[in-house]
Amino acid sequence: MAGTTQRKREVFPSKDELSVALAKYTANLSAKFCKEKGFFTVVLSGGGLIDWLCKLLEPPYIDSVEWSKWHVFWVDERVCSYEDPDSNYKLAMDGFLSKVGIPNENIYAIDKHYAADGDAENCAMLYEECLRKLVKQNILPLCTYGKYQYPQFDLQLLGMGPDGHMASLFPGHPQIHVIDKWVTYITDSPKPPPKRITFTLPVINSALYNLMAVCDDHTEQCPRSIAEIFKHNNLALPAANLTAQVEEMWYLDQAAASLL
């Protein structure tokens, strides 16, 4: 899929400094979109992202961000109950969302009942239906790619696994090639739990701003994947296919960027 932006990167000496920058980037875009159109659509992921977002819970952001104007989504979700430790929803609610004033009706989670039943297919279908309703309500505009249209979010906050996966798009799995759906599912994820739903690549790349944050926890694979992306643009790694409509920014800690 043709990209519309150049891949940018910033390298930070530590996770803490990366977290400070991520909070500032997010708060600045929140202010921009709330001023321009009255609300802000932001997509979260799992992993370490929520910990890094917690700088937004501190001054000046906790008081200056217009939380009531946020609409929050997930780029992917594990198909499990809301109470399961694997749940991205639980991770975000416990660590971040419950501590700010975002209206409950503006937090768009996976269907509670199908998730608890482990029904990935229906979870994906219903999440896409939710997005389509928000298009009709003029919360989400559409972005045209070829013969298809996809929902467009203001900002997606993404992470990359050491193997180069993003969202629940994994190397060697067919979900990366799905273009006729907004949300798809996987039942054999190489990373547990096996059942997940995920935005498709065209939806991810339709966002106005995509911020990919990667910190390495003493693995050899993560810096290799980063090098494959930045030096060789190895599209076999799903994260190498990332682009955006306005800006694609990568925030890396020094460990993740050690082979660049």
- In tens, the pLDDT along 104-155 reads 999 999 999 999 999 999 999 999 999 999 999 999 999 998 899 999 999 9
C-alpha 208/C-alpha 249 separation (Å) is: 11
Digit-coded pLDDT (tens) for 202-227: 999 999 999 999 999 888 999 999 99
**Is the torsion defined by CA of 122, 123, 129, 133 positive or negative?**
positive
Residue 78 confidence (pLDDT) above 80: yes
C-alpha 26/C-alpha 251 separation (Å) is: 13
pTM above 0.95, yes or no: yes
Residue 29 confidence (pLDDT) above 80: yes
Note the helical H segments in the chain.
Answer: 15-37, 49-53, 61-64, 88-95, 112-117, 120-136, 201-206, 221-232
Residue 26: its pLDDT value, please?
A: 98
Q: Average model confidence (pLDDT) for the chain?
A: 96
C-alpha 243/C-alpha 1 separation (Å) is: 9
Residue 198 confidence (pLDDT) above 60: yes
Residue 4: its pLDDT value, please?
A: 63
Residue 1: its pLDDT value, please?
A: 45
CB atoms within 10 A of CB 117: 14
Domains of the chain: 26-229 (3.40.50.1360)
